[in-house]
Structure 1
Amino acid sequence: MFATLHSALSNHRTFGFAMTGVVGVAVIIGAALALRGPDLTFAPEMAPQAVELPDGRTLFVQRYEVTVGEWNVCHKKGGCSLALRARPDQDPMTVPATGLNYVDVQEYLRWISAETRHDWRLPTSQEWAFMAEPVLPEEPDPIFTDPELTWASSYLIEGLASRTLKPQGSFATSPQGIADLNGSVWEWTNSCYSGTADLGRCPAFYVGGEHVAAIPFLVRDPARGGCAAGTPPAHLGMRLVTDRSL
């Protein structure tokens, strides 16, 4: 009987030590996973230099706008509902992803943040304006000084940038190496037109481009869906930013 009891106690101690070892290994693996850096498999190409903002913060910006090819990876993996198609004469890996509304963009942000284990977001309208200022044209003087003809001045001087969708790198590059901020794609920002802090209840968001515009959050084609403020942009796309270096 004592031999049996001793054997049982020994087995229990062995099992206990084994379980302790398993738990210890699990803790070590969990800690290792938590300490792992970002997964760069789907990380975008970043601008060579960060943007130093007036308030002292540093902003790390995607060099080019998200492309059709990058977007469709999200779609194929189930992260993005919308599938995009480039024209036959376009390379999906270099043509910007357009026809995106604010909800679409949020899907992509959630997906790429999870895939890369890194927090990505849209810039605010103030951040976008600051980083684009060096490459945007100066606002031209009005053609007509009569206030009643303001609409005519706006009509005649708008459309300074080409509205044709072109491959990445077709427009100017900022001093930090950010391309195409003055191009034909207006980029969604995270700034609400109505000023509400609850972005989930925001009816329209500002988009960055040749001029300021506010677009209703469900609009993919501003020429058809309208513009809450400003002349309708040619194309709606996106560019990623992050507050932490990869």
Structure 2
Amino acid sequence: MAADPVMMSDEHPLYVQKFEVTVAEWNRCHGEGACDEPRRAPAGKSATRTPVTNLSHLDIEQYLRWINKRARHPFRLPTRAEWEFMARDVMPNKPDPIFTDRELSWASAYLTEGIAPRKLKVQGSFSESPEGIADLDGSVWEWTDDCYAGDSGVVPKELCPAYWVGGEHIAAVPFVERDPARGGCAVGAPPAHLGFRLVTDVPPSEK
């Protein structure tokens, strides 16, 4: 976990993994029969230091069930608001929006050329937040647990068509998507890589 919890705006502490889940951590889940498909680190990169990517929201739900049972601790994905709050000090300055209408903010993000590197790098290659959370501004965009419901408003979780992911900007990605560069993005410019990190409301030393 990061050195310090993120103190949210409502003053509750959020405990956040310092790094994104790695290829090696994912493969332990696979090795125990809880995650469907193994992953490989790119040539020349260590599986213990490379974020696991090409994961859908459904894939991550498998990992969550496994790690919570194995660790006997209530880990989860962050909400969109939590992700944005924890990343507030490390994200690059946003360019002037193309559209000023709030309803068209997604279009501004889609049409603005990204500045974050797209090459997958090992953990610790990017910035670190004041709490010690690394790589929030890196090339791996991170799934959250907040549903994108479009114009329909709130939908039941079992019917959610897409989830928000955090990265250079916030984008909505279909829940089954693993490679948004190929499959597209529900809202916003497509991320380079999809991964995740875990958070918890309970101090990791407690059960």
TM-score (norm 2): 0.90
Verify: 1:228 aligned to 2:186, yes or no: yes
1:112 aligns with 2:67: yes
- Partner of 1:57 in structure 2? 12
Deviation at 1:145, TM superposition (A): 8.5
1:133 equivalenced with 2:88 (yes/no) = yes
How far did 1:199 drift?
Answer: 1.3
Quote the offset at 1:161 in angstroms: 0.7
Q: Deviations over 1:11-31 (max 9, x none)?
A: xxxxxxxxxxxxxxxxxxxxx
Please state how far the C-alpha of 1:183 moved relative to its aligned partner.
Answer: 0.3
Task: Provide the C-alpha distance between the structure 2 equivalents of 1:208 and 1:153, rounded to a whole number of angstroms.
Answer: 13
Residues 46-81 of structure 1, C-alpha deviations (whole Å, 9 max, x = no match): 000000000121100000000001100000001101
- 2: CA distance, partners of 1:145 / 1:69: 42
User: 5+ unaligned residues in a row in structure 2: which ranges?
Assistant: 102-106
**CA–CA separation in structure 1 for the residues paired with 2:59 and 2:178:** 9
With a CA cutoff of 8 Å and minimum separation of 6, indicate the structure with the bigger relative contact order.
Answer: 2
Is the CA contact 2:128–2:136 (under 8 Å) kept in the aligned structure 1?
Answer: yes
Kindly report which structure 2 residues correspond to 1:170-209, keeping only aligned pairs within 5 A, or say none: 170-194=125-149, 195-196=153-154, 198-209=156-167
> 5+ unaligned residues in a row in structure 1: which ranges?
1-45
- What is the root-mean-square deviation in Å for CA atoms of aligned residues? 2.1
Q: Which residue of 2 aligns with 1:166?
A: 121
1:97 aligns with one of 52, 55, 67: 52
**CA 1:216–1:85 in structure 2 vs 1: closer, same or farther (change >3 Å)?**
same
User: Distance between the aligned counterparts of 1:167 and 1:79, measured in 2?
Assistant: 25
Q: What does residue 238 of structure 1 align with?
A: 196
Sequence identity percentage: 54
**In structure 2, what is the Cα distance between the partners aligned to 1:54 and 1:48?**
19
Q: Amino acid of the residue matched to residue 50 of structure 2?
A: V
Residue 96 of structure 1 aligns with an amino acid whose one-letter code is: P
Match of 2:176 in 1: 218
Aligned to 1:174, what secondary structure does the other structure show? coil
Give the secondary structure class of the aligned counterpart of 2:92: coil
SS, match of residue 74 in structure 1: helix
Which structure is higher in helix share?
A: 1
SS at match of 2:188: coil
Tell me the amino acid that sits aligned with residue 61 of structure 2.
Q
Relative distance call for 1:145 and 1:52 in structure 2 (3 A) is closer
Which deviations, in whole Å up to 9, do the C-alpha atoms of 1:138-182 show, x marking residues without a partner? Answer: 21125x7899xxx79964x42211000000000000000000000
Counterpart of 2:84 in structure 1: which amino acid? A
